[in-house]
Amino acid sequence: MDSIIFHREKEGVLVELIKYQVFALCGLSLALGGCATTPTYRDECVLGQTCAPVKATSRPYQIKGVWYYPQSHYEYDEVGVASYYGGGDIFHGRPTATGERFDMNEVSAAHKTLPLPCIAEVTNLETGRQIQLKVNDRGPFIEGRILDVSRRTAQLLGFEKKGTAKVRVRTLVPESLALNNLEHPQVMLAQNNPPPALLQSPLPPMNALLYPRLPDDLFEKEEEAPVVIKASYETSEPPLPSRGLYVDIGAYRQEEETKDLLKTLSDLTKSEAKSIHNKGIKPYAVRVGPFSSMAEANQILDQVINAGHGMARIVIQ
């Protein structure tokens, strides 16, 4: 557990240094037409998707030599592994990607490519606990993770002691639109029945309104029955059942592109590699597995990353 947090903190420091370097270079280059080294690619919304507004957080960014491309739409529903950050206080009180102050004792999350800010529903598939929160930061930049949450969120979802959990992350599109249509997103009041309202009086910072502070001992006993944490919005959809662990390599446009890769991965990992056909711009996903334990999946993930597939991650299918 401590090693996970320490690794995240070290990378967090690196992330800050890289951000400052990129912003400084771009600032010097504005008069000459902008930062030429930053890719201009941004995926476009397709029919049936809800487009997110273009903001500073929509720009591609680079961490440790890897480029990340924030998606242009709100639709997102994925299962994978979540971790948490803030345990060592290194990020506590610092600005998030949206400029809000990070408070490890409040509910929030970080994602590498979701539009910021947005509202997401996170379900711990191991305990059934569920929470709705604001995603307002970038990360995690540890291989095989799809979401970083604050320490408080990890407590409420029941995995603070363990450090990681299998989760389902699903964006709430209407709520995300409402959040971004407000001139001051912090003024959205958390209520279960009526729609979000605007307050005229001064407000506490960040997540205090989106998700009220709960008692510290609310989930002191982790063996208790699954609990659904309700914030601003109701949901009746049950959590997904736990499924097999896979190492996801990436997505490709043509099935022909995957054939040589599948053989290489099978020889490398001594495990089954397959191409999964889905709808989308890149419909062929390449995955290795399934694996029965997180330790086994992590071992294969390390092999795949060392072989040059730095974007590989662990998913649940």
> Domain holding 259: CATH number?
3.30.70.1070
Closest by CA position to 250, among listed 208, 278, 290, 220: 278
Q: Which pair of structure tokens corresponds to residue 156?
A: 């409420």
Please, which residues bridge with residue 95 across strands? 101
Assess whether pLDDT exceeds 80 at residue 278: no
Backbone angles phi, psi at 18, to 5 degrees: -65, -40
DSSP 52: P
Q: Which pair of structure tokens corresponds to residue 97?
A: 């990607």
Closest by CA position to 132, among listed 242, 218, 221, 212: 212
Task: Decide which of 140, 174, 208 is a domain's last residue.
Answer: 174
Q: Are residues 254 and 167 in the same domain?
A: no
Assess whether pLDDT exceeds 80 at residue 149: yes
Q: Which residue has the higher pLDDT, 238 or 265?
A: 265
Domain that holds residue 122: 2-174
In a domain, 181, yes or no: no
Cβ neighbors of 100 (< 8 A, separation 6 or more) are: 136, 186, 205, 206
Measure the CA–CA gap between 314 and 301, rounded to whole angstroms: 7
C-alpha 265 chain-centroid distance:
26
How far, CA to CA in Å, does 258 sit from each of 100, 129, 245?
A: 42, 37, 20
In a domain, 193, yes or no: no
Note the pLDDT of residue 270: 81
Task: Decide which of 154, 174, 194 is a domain's last residue.
Answer: 174
Please, which residues bridge with residue 252 across strands? 284
Q: Are residues 249 and 133 in the same domain?
A: no
C-alpha 108 chain-centroid distance:
11
Note the pLDDT of residue 316: 72
In a domain, 56, yes or no: yes
Q: Which residue has the higher pLDDT, 27 or 117?
A: 117
Burial of 227 (0-12, 13-18, 19+ CB in 10 A): middle
Number of domains in the chain: 2
In a domain, 301, yes or no: yes
In a domain, 187, yes or no: no
Residue-wise pLDDT tens digits, 287-308:
888 888 877 888 888 888 888 8
In a domain, 220, yes or no: no
Task: Decide which of 174, 196, 219 is a domain's last residue.
Answer: 174
How do strand 77-85 and strand 147-150 relate by DSSP bridges?
parallel
Measure the CA–CA gap between 116 and 57, rounded to whole angstroms: 6
Assess whether pLDDT exceeds 90 at residue 132: yes
In a domain, 231, yes or no: no
Burial of 215 (0-12, 13-18, 19+ CB in 10 A): exposed
Q: Are residues 137 and 281 in the same domain?
A: no
Note the pLDDT of residue 148: 95
Measure the CA–CA gap between 297 and 292, rounded to whole angstroms: 8
In a domain, 236, yes or no: no
